[in-house]
Amino acid sequence: MAEAFLSSPSNNLHRLSNHYFLTIFPNRHSATRLYSPPPRSLIDTPHHGSKSDPQQVHISLAGEDYMRVTWVTDDKDVPSVVEYGTTSGEYDTVVYGEHTSYTFYSYTSGKIHHVKIGPLEPSITYYYRCGGHGPELSFKTPPSTFPIEFVVVGDPGQTQDTVSTLAHVGDQDYDVFLLPGDLSYADEDQSRWDSFGRLVEEYASRRPWMVTEGNHERECCAFTAYNARWLMPYEESGSASNLYYSFNVAGSHIIMLGSYTDFKKGSDQYKWVEADLVKVDRKATPWVFAVMHVPWYNTNEDHKDEGKSMREAMEDLFYKARVDVVFAGHVHAYERFTRIYNRKADPCGPVYITIGESMEEPDKGWHISLATKFNRHQILLAEYS
């Protein structure tokens, strides 16, 4: 996990792992002796409420001054409505939204509600209730200006390590959560999507979670469950797909890219990224981030060169737009590159950071833990641990 606290473009980046907090200074490099800890158990998070009670609640930014509230009910008759206000127990605004559901082989999802609320004031705590009843929840809106604090977590999954990471997240007074793919590791087991939604609800219902897809979201060559459950502001940002989009928050422009949808030159995603970056006003948003699943730069032996074709297609767009930082997951290790372009150090290129978590599912017979094998001859370009 990485944490970034921004007050001006010269501020440092911070890293928070499962065990410690470390400030990363851009021009230092080091090598750490790495080891892979033993597997920690897979967890399942059940629903203890009634069929009409909201579950799997999470929020996401949905355009300037708006928030989208998403939740699931087993009862198909529950209305898609959110009541909210700035005083606990007093809901002076009521908004109705939309709902969807999907079928995957013999599984049929619950009713998935999406309600867009606003306009909202910055840095304010709002109290809300989903579906006309159920427990009161609350969230805090991001600030409108610096400083702003992001938490970035890749490949969380559903193990005891996930619980530990989320506990560290909960200890931070951050503003926005960024997730570069591989959320639930459902891998076609749709009940794991439900379990993941319940696991993260405590955190995802209090701060906006902005996510993009990874390879474990692709089920039978499609993203049906991901798109139904994790609706992001793609329409608000002029994108044609929920798999890539952008948003502004407090002086930052964030581009969420799709590693598993067409990115070649001339593709819809490529043309959208090109148009999106041209519109960036660096006076209004002096910071520009990109978030994706597969890293473009990676000295680890795991997933080596998987991001090469996407980098070759889009890197010039990032360089021309002077993107500041690129976050990725996929590789289950931490690695930070200096500013780089076309595989060489370049003061005008982005900083590339890989922040994949270790994901372990012994019940499925596989163990993907820390990726410990780096190509050390590239140490002058990268810091890893």
Between CA 20 and CA 74 the distance in angstroms is: 39
Residue type, 48: H
70 within 8 A of 57, measured Cβ to Cβ: yes
Which residue is catalytic, options 113, 168, 293, 303? 303
Is 14 catalytic? The answer is no
The angle that helices 190-204 and 160-170 make with each other, rounded to 10 degrees, is 20
Q: Please give the DSSP secondary-structure letter assigned to residue 70.
A: E
Question: Which whole-number Å values give the CA distances from 132 to 78, 112, 208, in the listed order?
Answer: 8, 15, 22
Strand ranges, E, within 141-237: 148-152, 176-179, 209-211
Nearest-10 Cα torsion for 343, 345, 351, 353: 50
Strand ranges, E, within 89-228: 93-96, 98-100, 103-104, 107-108, 111-117, 125-130, 137-140, 148-152, 176-179, 209-211
Which are the catalytic amino acids? 303
